[in-house]
Each structure stands twice: as structure tokens, then as C-alpha cells.
Amino acid sequence: MDKTIVTVTMNPAVDIQYVVPDFRPGRWFRASEVDRSAGGKGINVSIILQQLGYESAAMGFLAGFSGEYIRDTLRRLKLTTNFVNVIGESRTDVYIVDEVGHIETGVAEAGPYISDEALHRFMKNFDRILSRARLVYLGGSLPPGVPQDAYKDLILRCKEAKVPVFVDAFGPALTAALEGVPKVVKFDHRFLFSTLGYPMGDLDDVLELVSKIHDSGVEWSVTTYRAVGNIFYTPEGIYLVDIEREVKEQMVSLLAIGDALMAGLMVALLEDMDVEKAIRFAQACSLEDTLHVKKGIRGRDMVESLMPKILVEKLD
Amino acid sequence: MLVGDLMDRDLTSLGEDATLMEAIEVLSRHRIPGLPIVDAEGRVVGFLSEKDIVRAALPGYIDLLEDPSYVPDMGQFKVRMKRASMDSVGRHMTKEVVCLSTNDSDFHAALIMIKKNLKRAPVVKEGILVGVVNRADIIEHLMSE
């Protein structure tokens, strides 16, 4: 049987995007457009992988009405799921997109409490699916009750099964995950600077931090650079990546752009693309996601048409 | 249409070593009437339905009775249920499982489910659980055509 990609979303959410032109706090507005979707980093990655033609299995915890909405949405999308249902309510995250001011505002909830029994059941499911996994993605926040080193635990299980791991996290969950040494890690350097107590610095400081992560054995790391660009630390060197200015002006929403990037990078590495092509492909996935309100990408051909718009500079 | 196209790709399942208590919680939280029981690799080795759980709390001679009024009262039933709740799922599951294949036709699936009076059947690919088909899925599919 073919091996599958596994995505883990410990704390899924219903993402609601309201498009409110000229939004300002303290007033009532009527949304000109609403997009409601199943979300959380791993779930977003699963959806985008499907749009790129790859099957995956989404795992994690679901609770309450929001949990039922998420499961039903994924069922209708014909995605493989293996969630543990718990008491409480899965998160609802609200994003307000202001197309006039080009500003996005967001409010996120904490998520349901996860008991030891539920976590134990999840781990059993994870071990079971690991026997037929080709790649594992761990992403997003940890809900209350889940230990901060849960990602490290999962990474070590993957290593034992010789399955590469991609991680996109922040705060203590990320620092613990780094101890497990995943293959690829994506992070917002501002969170890591504050978590590790580093002073917020310039590009050189970011590069020093990324180099340290790389030296610990992480093969690829990606961190944000300017608003929508990224720094890619790869086995073949460091790359600064940006987007052509004229395309930047067409951006509408930043929701899930990091997830699109990670899904693109997974596909690129599974297809053995060379480093520079892999970077272009991953960044083009992210760019495509920004060009419309609806989360996700509109197809692989759209992504490939955007690859020439990605500016890649290799640093000495 | 093939079963692989109409199935629910949900892998909710338990191992044989799980307790009935755990199974009751999963059935309740997931609002499903039964679940596949799998081994460490995800191979289907049994199926546990609500009926199997109820049967676990009933006396062994229940099949010999024609009139269910001989069944012990609710108090005794609760005691027996609590006692059975720590039993392993493997002890009470149905071992001869009717599994569908992803390559089976919708017609074959409908026939099997009606003939065997199944609400829910696991779908396997090379023996590994890849989803489930509910009677409701088939009806929804037929109505949408």
C-alpha cells in the first residue's frame, strides 16, 4: 500500500474571514464577503496538498460544534481524517481583511482542554499511522493540557520510524521541537527571538539564529523576512526570497500563506526538485494563496505560472 | 461509482487491547454506532458495534431465550455493564468482519449492507483500514445521482 503524508493539528479551528473595507476598531461594519473554512496549520496543509494533487491524513483533536463543522468539511473534501474527539469546543479564529487599508486583524481562541486519556489515544493512533507514513507535518499551537514538549516526543517517534518531519510552530513548543531535530522547520523569527531571550535584531542576527538551528542538524529552516518574503536556510546555502513588487500589490489575504509554503516545500522535496526550484515552488504556493480571499491555492498550474515572479538571491 | 469514491475516509478505530469503556466513550464522542478494531499496522481484525457492547452485559443464555422479558432488570444490567467495561475490546468484538474494498462497486456495497443488515462497514486496501461506508452515504449517493 502507498505511504501517505500525515499532518498533525493539535488545535484545529474554524477560520472565519470577513472582508470589511476600511475596517476600524470601535465601529459596526457589514462584511462585503465571508469565507468560513476548516483550519489550523496541519489541516490547511492537508487541504493545500490535495489541491497540489497529494493525499494526506489529518490528525489531532476535535470538540463540539466547531469540531463537527471541521470534520464534516474535511469529509466533504474527501480528506482522510483520524481525529480524537474531546469534550469542549474547538477554536474559532476570526480574521478581518481590510482591502482598502491592506491590513489584516485577527482574534484566536485557546482551544479545548486535552485530557491524558485523549492524548494517549492520539499517540496510539499516531504510532499506528506512522507505520505507513512517508512524511509527517506538525503545525500550530498546542491546546491546554498537551505538554509543551509534545512535538519533540512526536519527532522522536518519527525518527525511530525513519520518517522525515516538518515543523511549523512558535514559543516553547517550537524550542522543544528543535531539540528533536526535525528535517524542516518554519518559524517566525520574532517569536523565537523573544522565546530565547535574543534581542530583536537585523538580518545578520536572524542569519546567526538560523545558522545555529542549522548547526543542530535541522536540514532546512525557513523564517519570515520583511512582510511576505522568507529566508531559506538549505543544505546548499542561504537564500533570501522576495516577490516582484507588481504582484505584491495584488495581494488580498495573508491567511494560511505559511501553510501553503510548507505544503509547497513538502511537494518540492518529495519530487526531488533542486534547491532553487524547490524554494521558488514553495514561495509561489504561498504567493498564490495571497491573491484571493478563499484560503488555499487555485491549482498547481496557477502556482507554476507565478514561479518567475519569485526573486531568489543566494547569500555568500 | 466505486466504494473508494463514496466512502468516508475516517480512520477512527481502536486496538484490541482497548477497554469497552474506552470504546463506549469513542462511540459516544464520535456519534457512531460501531468502529473497526485494528492491529498495530492498521489491519482490520474486528468490528465492535453498540450491539456487541450491550451483549457483553447480558447473560450468555440470552440467545436461547425467545422472550426478552427474562432478561435481568436494569439494575443488574448496569452492574454487569460496569463489570464488563474493563474487558478488552478484543474479547467482545465481532471477529468475522464484513469489509468492503475500495474497488467494490456501490451496488455491491449496497447489496452486502442490506443482506448483512449493516449500518457501517470498514473499507480496506490490502487489508489496511482506509475508511468506512455508512448506509447513509450510499443513500445520499443514490439520491444525488
Q: Is the CATH number of domain B3-144 3.10.580.10?
A: yes
Average pLDDT of chain A, as a whole number: 91
End-to-end CA distance of chain B: 10
- pLDDT grade for B62, boundaries at 50, 70 and 90: low
pLDDT recorded at residue B63: 65
**Other Cβ atoms within 10 Å of A216 Cβ, number:** 12
C-alpha distances (whole Å) from B132 to each of A2, A35, A84, A86, B96 are 19, 30, 16, 21, 16
Strands (E), A69-124: 80-86, 91-98, 103-107
Name the least confident of A239-248, B18-27, B90-99.
A239-248
Cell 480528506 appears where? A79
- pLDDT grade for A207, boundaries at 50, 70 and 90: confident
Whether the pLDDT of residue A199 is over 60: the answer is: no
Q: Which of B12, B42, B125 sits opposite A129 (nearest CB)?
A: B42
Name the least confident of A236-245, B5-14, B17-26, B121-130.
A236-245
Alpha-carbon gap: B122 to the closest alpha carbon of chain A (Å): 14
Average pLDDT in the A150-168 region?
Answer: 97
Which residues partner with A92 through β-bridges? A14
Express each pLDDT in A66-107 by its tens digit: 999 999 999 999 999 999 999 999 999 999 988 776 777 889
A1 touches chain B (CB under 8 A): yes
DSSP A62: E
The pair phi, psi for residue A97, each rounded to 5°, is: -100, 120
DSSP one-letter string for B74-97: HHHHHHHHHHHTTSBHHHHSBSS-
Average pLDDT of chain B, as a whole number: 88
pLDDT recorded at residue B78: 82
State the complex-level ipTM. Answer: 0.89
Which residues partner with B10 through β-bridges? A81
A133 touches chain B (CB under 8 A): no
Sheet hosting strand B14-15, strand order edge to edge: B14-15, B34-38, B44-49
**Cβ atoms of A280 and A227 closer than 8 Å:** no
What is the percent of chain A with per-residue pLDDT over 70, rounded to a whole number? 95
Cell 527571538 appears where? A193
Best probe of the B interface among A128, A131, A132, by most B CBs < 10 A, is: A128
d(CA B40, CA B17): 11
Express each pLDDT in A267-287 by its tens digit: 999 999 999 999 999 999 999
Whether the pLDDT of residue B60 is over 80: the answer is: no
Best probe of the A interface among B7, B8, B140, by most A CBs < 10 A, is: B8
Express each pLDDT in B119-130 by its tens digit: 899 999 999 999
More confident residue, A52 or A203: A52
A81 touches chain B (CB under 8 A): yes
Residues constituting chain A: 316
Q: Which residues contact B36 (CB under 8 A, 6 or more apart)?
A: B13, B44, B46, B47, B97, B122, B129, B132
Task: Enter the C-alpha cell of residue B42.
Answer: 492498521
The amino acid at A296 = G
**Cβ atoms of A168 and A140 closer than 8 Å:** yes
Buried b vs exposed e over A24-38: b needs ≥16 C-beta within 10 Å?
Answer: eeeeeeeeeeebebb
d(CA A315, CA A297): 30
Q: Checking DSSP bridges between strand A220-225 and strand A229-234, what pairing results, if any?
A: antiparallel
- pLDDT grade for B68, boundaries at 50, 70 and 90: low
- pLDDT grade for A5, boundaries at 50, 70 and 90: very high
Which residues partner with A8 through β-bridges? A59, A138
Average pLDDT in the A3-15 region?
Answer: 96
Q: Which residues contact A92 (CB under 8 A, 6 or more apart)?
A: A13, A14, A16, A66, A109
pLDDT recorded at residue B66: 62
Instruction: Give the number of beta-carbon pairs within 8 Å between A and B.
Output: 46
pLDDT recorded at residue A116: 96
C-alpha distances (whole Å) from A10 to each of A129, A284, B68 are 16, 27, 46
What is the percent of chain A with per-residue pLDDT over 90, rounded to a whole number? 70
Alpha-carbon gap: B5 to the closest alpha carbon of chain A (Å): 8
Average pLDDT in the A158-181 region?
Answer: 94
Name the least confident of A183-187, A214-218, B100-104.
A214-218
- pLDDT grade for A226, boundaries at 50, 70 and 90: low
Task: Enter the C-alpha cell of residue B48.
Answer: 465492535
pLDDT recorded at residue B112: 92
Task: Enter the C-alpha cell of residue A166.
Answer: 516538518
Residues constituting chain B: 145
Find, among A92, A91, A74, A41, the residue nearest to A257 by Cα.
A41
Q: ∠ CA A75-B139-A86 to the nearest 5 degrees?
A: 35
Q: Which chain A residues are closer than 8 Å to B131 by Cβ?
A: 80
Strands (E), B1-145: 14-15, 34-38, 44-49, 100-101, 120-125, 128-134
Q: Across the interface, do B10 and A131 touch by the CB < 8 Å criterion?
A: no
Average pLDDT in the A230-248 region?
Answer: 90
Express each pLDDT in B69-120 by its tens digit: 666 677 877 888 888 889 999 999 999 999 999 999 999 999 999 999 898 9
**3-class SS at A209?**
helix
Find, among B141, B44, B52, B38, the residue nearest to B94 by Cα.
B52
Q: Give the CATH number of domain A1-146.
A: 3.40.1190.20
Task: Enter the C-alpha cell of residue B90.
Answer: 478484543
Q: Which of residues 286-315 of A touch B (CB under 8 A)?
A: none
pLDDT recorded at residue A196: 58
d(CA A198, CA A286): 28
**3-class SS at A55?**
coil
Which residues partner with A16 through β-bridges? A36, A94
Q: Across the interface, do A85 and B26 touch by the CB < 8 Å criterion?
A: yes
